[in-house]
Chains A and B, each alone.
Chain A
């Protein structure tokens, strides 16, 4: 069973860069697609984007200009970078694996999740 462990800075100032990493255990980064999802305090879930084992990415257009996702096959990790953060980016950020089966991957099916990282943006 895949387990995801994530880490990164929890307190940022406006205009700084958010950087989170998610390590994959019990599975291979090369075998699946991987996503980042965030949840502002007391609010619903927002999909940030996904990356596959080939390094191909697909970002939410609402964040596209500020988001970069990358993967490291050798370390079995993938990362999220969000530039120029503001208070509106304050949220719990989750990494998640995308379910793949029968030769297809289903972008809205997140079968395993990291524990979450609360990122607060405040001056």
Chain B
């Protein structure tokens, strides 16, 4: 059972906006920045969003992140077929003294 809670799945049609949520607590999301990772099958995760809402160089602008209180969200605007992969949120936890991850959300493009 993951410390950060994500819905197992999310879906949308091409061009739609899809939002993935990540729920935590005051010791992790509530007091530290949130990062999002994208993972294609059989490959290493890739940093998609860092510091809640910052995109690394090369990440398309249709990916955006936000945080409010003890929850965070990843939004994909203009959903494309190649977005049909897994997404994970992560943050430092001050109580556990570990990096905690969400269980992952699989996005399906209908």
Which residues of A are at the interface with B, using a C-beta cutoff of 8 A?
35, 37, 44-47, 58, 60-61, 94, 96, 99, 106-111, 113-116
Taken residue by residue from 91 to 106, chain B's Cβ proximity to chain A (1 for < 8 Å, 0 otherwise) reads as 1100011111111100
Contact B32 A61 (CB under 8 A): no
Binding site for A on B (CB under 8 A): 2, 32-33, 35, 37, 43-47, 50-51, 56, 88, 90-92, 96-104
**Inter-chain contact A110/B98, CB cutoff 8 Å:** no
Kindly state the separation between the CA atoms of A113 and B45 in the bound complex, as whole angstroms.
7
Asked if residues A44 and B104 are in contact (CB atoms below 8 Å), the reply is: yes
**30 A/B residue pairs, CB under 8 Å, sorted by A:** A37-B99, A44-B2, A44-B101, A44-B103, A44-B104, A45-B45, A45-B90, A45-B101, A46-B101, A47-B98, A60-B98, A61-B96, A61-B97, A94-B45, A96-B44, A99-B47, A99-B50, A106-B33, A106-B51, A107-B92, A108-B32, A108-B35, A108-B99, A108-B100, A109-B33, A109-B47, A110-B47, A111-B50, A113-B45, A115-B44
A112 closest partner in B (C-beta): B47
